[in-house]
C-alpha cells in the first residue's frame, strides 16, 4: 500500500477490516466460477483488498479538514477576484459499478476574508475522491468543503472524467468524457470573466 495513504486511513479509526475484504474477494472469485487456489489467483484477494482500501481511504474522513487552518487576510492583503487551481488529477471509483473513473478537477473561488494553501485544495480533492463516488457529488463535496472553511463569495468546481463503466461497458462511447460543474454562492461577474479566461488558456497536454 502506498505510504502516502497511511495518514488518511488512520483517520478512519477501527473501521477497516482488511481480512474481511480479502475474504470477500476470495468469495467473489468463487462465486463467478473461478478457483481462488489456482496459482495465478493465490495472492489476488490480498492485492485487490489492499487496492480498494487505498482507493477508499477517504471513507469517513472529513474533506473540509484537509484544508487545514485557513489563512486570514488583513485589510492590506489583496487577494484578487479569483483564485483558481486547475488540472488537479484524481482517480475515484463509481459507486454503481465499483469501476474506476479518473480525470481532473478545476477549482475556482472568489475569496472574501480567507484563503488556503493551494496544495491543501488538491488534498481536499484527493480525500473526496477516495470513496465510492458519483462525479456530480464529488464536485459538490469539494465545493461544500471550500465554502465551509474559507467562506468565499463563491466557489465553482469543474470535474472532467472518463468512466470505466462507460468506456469499457459501452464500446461506442470509449472516448466519452463527462463534465460536471458544482457551484456554491454567487460568483462576482469579474471573477466569472477571469474563470472563463483561465478555461480559454490552451493546456500543455
Ligand atoms: Zn458506474
* Span from the CA of 169 to the centroid of ligand 1 (angstroms): 9
Fold of 3-55: GTP Cyclohydrolase I; Chain A, domain 1 (1.10.286)
pLDDT digits (tens, 9 = 90+) for 100-158: 999 999 999 999 999 999 999 999 999 999 999 999 999 999 999 999 999 999 999 99
pLDDT average, residue stretch 145-172? 92
Residue 13 has pLDDT above 70, yes or no: no
Q: Of 2.60.120.620, 3.40.50.620, 3.40.50.300, 3.30.1130.10, which CATH number belongs to 66-200?
A: 3.30.1130.10
> For the whole model, what pTM was predicted?
0.87
* Span from the CA of 28 to the centroid of ligand 1 (angstroms): 19
- The structural domains of the chain, with segments of one domain joined by +, span 3-55, 66-200
* Span from the CA of 2 to the centroid of ligand 1 (angstroms): 25
Written as nine digits, the cell of 128 is 473526496
The CA-based dihedral angle spanning residues 134, 138, 141, 147, taken in that order and rounded to the nearest 10 degrees: -150
Residue 13 buriedness (CB in 10 A; 0-12 / 13-18 / 19+): exposed
Domains 3-55 and 66-200 share a fold: no
Residue 25 DSSP SS3: helix
* Span from the CA of 138 to the centroid of ligand 1 (angstroms): 14
Amino acid at each position: 500500500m502506498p505510504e502516502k495513504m497511511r495518514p488518511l486511513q488512520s483517520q478512519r479509526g477501527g473501521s477497516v477490516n482488511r481480512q474481511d475484504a480479502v475474504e470477500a474477494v476470495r468469495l467473489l472469485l468463487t462465486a463467478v466460477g473461478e478457483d481462488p487456489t489456482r496459482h495465478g489467483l493465490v495472492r489476488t484477494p490480498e492485492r485487490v483488498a489492499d487496492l480498494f482500501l487505498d482507493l477508499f481511504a477517504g471513507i469517513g474522513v472529513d474533506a473540509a479538514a484537509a484544508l487545514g487552518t485557513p489563512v486570514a487576510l488583513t485589510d492590506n492583503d489583496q487577494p484578487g477576484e479569483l483564485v483558481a487551481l486547475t488540472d488537479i488529477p484524481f482517480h475515484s471509483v463509481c459507486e454503481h459499478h465499483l469501476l474506476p473513473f479518473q480525470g481532473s478537477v478545476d477549482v475556482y473561488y472568489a475569496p472574501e476574508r480567507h484563503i488556503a494553501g493551494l496544495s491543501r485544495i488538491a488534498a481536499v480533492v484527493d480525500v473526496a475522491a477516495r470513496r465510492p463516488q458519483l462525479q456530480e457529488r464529488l464536485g459538490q463535496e469539494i465545493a461544500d468543503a471550500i465554502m465551509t472553511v474559507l467562506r468565499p463569495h463563491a466557489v465553482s468546481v469543474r470535474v472532467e472524467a472518463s468512466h470505466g463503466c462507460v468506456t469499457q461497458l459501452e464500446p461506442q462511447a470509449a472516448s466519452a468524457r463527462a463534465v460536471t460543474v458544482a457551484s456554491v454562492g454567487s460568483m462576482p461577474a469579474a471573477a466569472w470573466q477571469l474563470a472563463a479566461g483561465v478555461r480559454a488558456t490552451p493546456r500543455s497536454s
